[in-house]
Structure 1
Amino acid sequence: MEKKNLWGGIFASVAALIGLIGHFVLFFQWYVAGMSAESAEPGCEILLKFLHPGLANVGILAAVFFAVSAYGFFTSKSWALLLSTIGIVLALLASWFINVPFMAAGLPPIYFTLFVPYLLFYFLMLKWIGGVSWARVLLALGSGMAYIFCFMNGVSSTSRIVTVGAPLFVLVVGLHWFAMIGWAVFTVGVVIKPKSWLIPLGLVSGMIELFVGFPLAFETGLQLGRFSLFSLAPISCLILVVLLIWPNIFQRLTCLAKK
């Protein structure tokens, strides 16, 4: 067994244990507290009641991917890195966004205790074990952020529909999910095997969020009188779209031959 496969198996095993134990422990300690928080803003109780267990499921699913990936590394399988990449994409989503409604409800962002180790694992697994170039690691990190922000806009729009019923949110809510899925596939593709079709996929995903995200950011910003978190997704997508349409930038970052 190669040394990198051994370390890959160890890292994936640790990540699986972090996800499995961490999500069970944090969920049972904070689920009831989250739903009953007195300082919860409108809509937070919905997120903490339904989204919290949903994201915990995503985190446990990520742990399963890590566990199978560990087996793949220990047995020198070619698909081991792919499963770890899928696992980390799921794990970072599950351990990041749930902190937002927790903080809005006046509770500590306790899931950052999972997010930080997973972020470290992202760099170790892709750069050291997978041998992925820094350019691709950082590009995937950027598209991964867009993926999480699009998810955040989708969830927040759903919450606004339930609590307020604003027509604009009803109109665009489904498109955030399409953008999120597109960026998730883009992120995994950049890490594992960049292909030319990732460019139109990224452009479609980015343009979707530009078309629907900026109107939401503008409207909610006016209502709140401050910077709206709905702005994060379209801003991140704008940066990525510029990178994708700039001549040969994607090819240089991914070492992909021009086609």
Structure 2
Amino acid sequence: MERNEKLGGIVALSAGLIGIIGHFVIFLNWYVRGMHAEAAEPGCEILLKYINPAIADLGIVGGVIFLVSAYGFFNRKKWAFLLSVIAIVLSLQGAWFVNVPYMAAGLPPVYFILFWPFLIVYFLITKLVGKLTWSRTLVGFLAGMAWVFCLMNGIASLSRIITIGAPFFTLVQRMHWFAMLGWGIVTVSILMGPKEWTWVLGFTAGLLEIVVGVPLAVVTAQELGRFSLFSLAPICCLILVAIMVWPGGLWHRWTQTDELSETGSRLRIQREAGV
């Protein structure tokens, strides 16, 4: 299917400028303020001191890749859509988690100023530029949120290790990041055209996060006496794994490309006609 190259260039150029300028402005205005917030919970200053710059790196790199993809779109290069997909996956990651320690420090979640526009950019790129089906777009989005939430669980576990040294967090912390890497790759693969290994990697990443994330969510919910944000990753992965194993090949139907769908339709017609 032919993509909307002109719109892709405009969207990628706008997203790149938003990401680069936005991260510079927000970081320079809020970084020091966040580390010295009086209402900060234990561990917030650690997260904001070291994790905030690392997350900003992802956002700025995502912005640069957007600019490169914009050049590709305007010059009708085949690699432009792939770069725009990689850029939006990095950009959503770079605009989500750092809001959590800001809110824990009693400060506004300033990075949502970037997250919500990037969420719109995601749907513009997948639906209007890439012309993907709604099912593939939404499964890709769910996989992308698993990538975001697994990073959050890994960082939050690391914070607990530093502040209270709980053995349970020490046991599971790295597993969240392994799952995160898996979902990042799966997200890009779904949007570009999933392969058989996409299912295998996603299923592995999903089960891994469920195994380490569900007990973590239960333990932290009991400690807090309320819903724990540690629950978001395993819930997201439970939904994805359910789609993967649903009878009738639901995963393949929802993530297949239009070309595969058309081929399948032709084969069914041929079988029904006895060809």
Structure 1: which 4+ aligned runs deviate by more than 2 Å? 255-258
Question: CA deviation digits over 1:91-121, x for unaligned, max 9?
Answer: 0111111111111111011111111111111
Aligned-residue offset at 1:4: 2.1
Q: Is residue 199 from structure 1 mapped to residue 199 from structure 2 by the alignment?
A: yes
What is the alpha-carbon distance in structure 2 between the residues aligned to residue 3 and residue 214 of structure 1?
Answer: 40
1:158 counterpart residue number: 158
Aligned-residue offset at 1:194: 1.3
Percent identical pairs in the alignment equals: 56
Q: Pick the structure with greater CA Rg.
A: 2
Aligned residues: 257
What is the alpha-carbon distance in structure 2 between the residues aligned to residue 3 and residue 51 of structure 1?
Answer: 37
Letter in 2 for 1:121: V
CA RMSD of aligned residues (A): 1.4
Question: CA deviation digits over 1:29-54, x for unaligned, max 9?
Answer: 00011000000111111111111111
Written as runs of structure 1 = structure 2, the 5 A alignment for 1:33-48 is 33-48=33-48
* Kept after mapping to 1: 8 A contact 2:147/2:183: yes
CA distance 1:226–1:3, change in 2 (3 Å) = closer
Question: CA deviation digits over 1:138-157, x for unaligned, max 9?
Answer: 00111111111100000001
2:85 counterpart residue number: 85
2:256 counterpart residue number: 255
1:22 counterpart residue number: 22
What is the alpha-carbon distance in structure 1 between the residues aligned to residue 255 and residue 95 of structure 2?
Answer: 28
What is the alpha-carbon distance in structure 2 between the residues aligned to residue 191 and residue 3 of structure 1?
Answer: 13
What is the alpha-carbon distance in structure 2 between the residues aligned to residue 229 and residue 116 of structure 1?
Answer: 19
1:49 counterpart residue number: 49
TM-score, normalised on structure 2? Answer: 0.91
* Kept after mapping to 1: 8 A contact 2:193/2:256: no
* Kept after mapping to 1: 8 A contact 2:149/2:233: yes
TM-score, normalised on structure 1? Answer: 0.96
What is the alpha-carbon distance in structure 2 between the residues aligned to residue 211 and residue 20 of structure 1?
Answer: 37
Written as runs of structure 1 = structure 2, the 5 A alignment for 1:180-191 is 180-191=180-191
Aligned-residue offset at 1:172: 1.1
Letter in 2 for 1:33: R
Aligned-residue offset at 1:3: 8.8
Classify the secondary structure of the residue corresponding to 2:195: coil
What is the alpha-carbon distance in structure 2 between the residues aligned to residue 242 and residue 4 of structure 1?
Answer: 33
What is the alpha-carbon distance in structure 2 between the residues aligned to residue 255 and residue 143 of structure 1?
Answer: 15
CA distance 1:212–1:106, change in 2 (3 Å) = same
Classify the secondary structure of the residue corresponding to 2:235: helix
Letter in 2 for 1:197: W
Q: Which moved more, 1:118-127 or 1:218-227?
A: 218-227
Q: Is residue 6 from structure 1 mapped to residue 6 from structure 2 by the alignment?
A: yes
Unaligned residue ranges in structure 2 (runs of 5+): 265-275
Letter in 2 for 1:170: T
CA distance 1:147–1:3, change in 2 (3 Å) = closer
Question: CA deviation digits over 1:182-225, x for unaligned, max 9?
Answer: 11111111100111221111110000011100111111111111
What is the alpha-carbon distance in structure 1 between the residues aligned to residue 132 and residue 217 of structure 2?
Answer: 35
Q: Is residue 178 from structure 1 mapped to residue 178 from structure 2 by the alignment?
A: yes
2:270 counterpart residue number: none
Letter in 2 for 1:176: H
1:140 counterpart residue number: 140
Q: Is residue 212 from structure 1 mapped to residue 188 from structure 2 by the alignment?
A: no
